[in-house]
Structure 1
Amino acid sequence: MLEVRLRHRFGGFTLDAGFAVPQGITVLFGRSGSGKTTIVNAVAGLLRPEAGRVAMGKTILTDVEARVWVPPHKRRIGYIFQEGRLFPHLNVRQNLRYGAWFAPKDAPREDMGRVVEMLGIGPLLDRRTGALSGGEKQRVAIGRALLSAPQLILADEPLAALDEARKAEILPYFERLRDEVTIPILYVSHSASEVARLATTVVALEAGRVIAQGRAAEVLGDPAVLPTGAREAGAVLTARVARHHDDGLTELDAGGVALFLPRLPQGPGASVRVRIAAHDVILAQEAPRGLSALNILPGVVAEIRAGEGPGALVALDTQAGRVLARITRRSVAALGLEPGASVHAVLKSVAVAPADVGGPRGAT
């Protein structure tokens, strides 16, 4: 269990946040300036807060009231930055060994061969870091952090400097890290897709305060929790791959409801998380006919949140799970929508991007 309670002021900004989270990937989710990196730096020991406490299980790293302060180099924390920050004069193998060199001799260690296999960096071991792509550098940086025998890994927006292709390359490795390594990870992001795919626990931040905490499906499916704005709103469904079709579509079983998406790499029987963006969902009073959209989910309106402008978010409980729809307030009135009303959510198969579909593990 990671316990964090912090209070600190920077000019006109005040951080006053606290949370306790279990093992897995905990994602600090919010806009730029919400306090995510400040929390990570305080956990790493790079910032001494005015008040607060940071503890990993029984190990207290910071306790301002008790005057406990463990220096950064003694905290046994692996830090993955936006850029790999590898040593350019060393090759990949030497960068990995550098992490292991600083690990305490009596600390449980990850096997280097296992880490290399998990991250797919075997062919890179003898290459200089200057010859690596951005995605390759980040995989090496992850490996170096793992091999330092950390009690905790901090990842401060590790995909922010990568293009979409490199992000797609790296995300599966973070999923494997979540599922196969027992080291807890505190991960900073302002990307709803990353949160949906990776998070075991979500801590949503706004203006230096925690506005929600819980499983990804709970936090992202709450129309009142919009740490990055209504445009990023979207819910998370858990489904099972039923079959692949010859026309390039994959059929999912989502709580007994069929969902069709562009072909997925996972085989039949595999569990997946699917993020459904609210702006890709339209609503109908009755089951529509003669549409090109293949996915129609009947459900019941759970909540409606009107925005300051012309828009509204409608939370719909379906057999597949919670779905959000971003529509206009005029449409809400025209459809006569209110909590308890029956309605159908309509989603185009091609609206779900590959980056919005990920592996199963972690509490959804």
Structure 2
Amino acid sequence: YNKYFSLGISVADEMFGLLFFVLMAHTAYGDVSYSFLEEMKRGSVIGNIAKDLVLDVNRLSSRKARIDTEGNRKRYCDINLNTGELTVAERIDREEICEKKSSCVINQELVLENPLGLHRVIFNIEDINDNSPQFKQSVIKFEIRESALKGSRYLLDEAHDADISMNAVQSYMLQENEHFLLRVLTRTNGRTYGELVLNKELDREQQKEVTLILTAVDGGTPPRSGTVAIHVTVLDANDNAPLILPSCLIPGCVHIGYNITITATDEGSPPLSSTKNIHLTVADVNDNPPVFQEQSYRAHVQENNKPGSSICSVSATDPDWRQNGTVV
């Protein structure tokens, strides 16, 4: 009420006490309080202040009734001098005025003249679900080694909602997948957050990257939601030893009966190795002609032998293997 006190002070200091008493007497008629939702359309009726304060509607105009702001704040309502109704003067955004406060109160005054009267008008602005949950980042990134154990947990970024109470974030949902589960927790201040839980061990050799969608949902009616992508890069672990694949046969003339041991070692930490025993098998080539046991043969044939009679027997051998050494 400072601007009204200044009138009394400018006349005489001793009048201050009298003026203060008069103001208090007028304000003693009572304050009035209204509760209504934010974002009401301009011109919407809040209440009838003339009825609520038992004022003569017919004298509102002559007494120059008006709504005055405290502390040079915006005037959020007007008074209809013909009906005594309070109406919304401009858009009221609760989040802009009070942010995340649990109670959002606007104090304004009804000013009357002839005689001077002041009535405090209190507006309680109630929240509506006009904001969706949002994440600070468009993508949440993790680098997880494939050796991570089942049950490993990774803290997720919390979603934020400008609304309060049930209109704020109430739960999270994770896209169904093979490797991860979602654990939803509540802080001491009532805000919820999530943890990514490894449900099945990763294998980089099968899948190098995993992409999921995390959804935050508020408790409004109807509920609103916001999403963020989770990108998991699977880091390699030294979980595979070198693999030896002997698959060749060596043609040629070499000694038979060798056993060869091959060891392959990687440079991981710790290093892994594999050992393979190889029995050397030589594949034959047809590089030897058949050889008769004698350089020449002599045979004596008697006259008058029947056709088909055996004259003599010869023999040849071939040192090659299988069909290459078969003499016909």
- Structures share fold, TM-score greater than 0.5: no
Class of the TM-score when normalised by the shorter of the 2 chains: under 0.3
Normalised by the length of structure 2, the TM-score is 0.21
**Structure holding more helix per residue:** 1
Please say which structure displays the higher CA radius of gyration: 2
Which structure would you say has the larger RCO, counting Cα contacts within 8 Å and 6 or more residues apart?
A: 1
